[in-house]
Amino acid sequence: MMEVTKASSGVCGFVHEVLIGCGNEVIARHERSYASADMIFDPLHFLPLIEQKVGALDQAAPLQGWDLPDVFATLHRLLEARMGKPGKREYVQVLRLLETFEVDVVQGAISHAIDLGAIGYDAVKHLVLCRVEKRPPRLDLDFYPYLPKANVGTTRPASYMSLMGGTAA
């Protein structure tokens, strides 16, 4: 593989890929397609822009067909239902973890966060780092006051009497 150097900054086309360089750094690497008008997107390249324009998240062409595990969609729904537009931004921040970490590590952290009821970027990032560093998580929800705490109410048995035609006491 050719290294992009200062002398070769810019775009370098190869048989199977196209490299885009700036200085001595490769800033983008794309699979090459010979099909007419074919567009190949790398969703990770668009995440910084989508993070700034979160309204485009659901319609962004580069993200269409991105085959992520189902737990990502679950997290997306939970964040958006809980927080609205800021939830979309947090979801994009979680997606940006994929710029650094493997999908299976992020997927496991999301599943763990959902199981704990700690639905948020900070919790997922903490759990990702714990997985990578092979240390137990110390996710104390007292340090995350903006994360919703589970509030499970109890129902008195007498309340069910109204369903049976009786009166509740």
More confident residue, 55 or 127: 127
pLDDT of residue 99 exceeding 80, the answer is: yes
At residue 93, the pLDDT reads 96
**Residue with more model confidence, 59 or 74:** 74
**Residue 115 in this model has a pLDDT that exceeds 50:** yes
Q: Can you give the pLDDT at residue 13?
A: 87
Mean pLDDT of the chain: 83
pLDDT band at 6 (very low <50, low <70, confident <90, very high): very low
Give the pLDDT of residue 3.
52
2-16, 66-80, 153-167, range with the lowest pLDDT: 2-16
User: How distant, in Å, are the alpha carbons of 4, 64, 76 from that of 30?
Assistant: 14, 17, 27
Residue 141 has pLDDT above 70, yes or no: no
Q: DSSP 3-state assignment of 137?
A: coil
**Res. 96 pLDDT band, cuts 50 70 90:** very high
Q: Spell out the SS3 assignment of 23-44.
A: CCEEEEEEECCCCCCCCCCCHH
- Of 124, 36, 135, 149, the C-alpha closest to 72 is 124
Instruction: Give the DSSP H/E element, type plus range, for residue 150.
Output: none
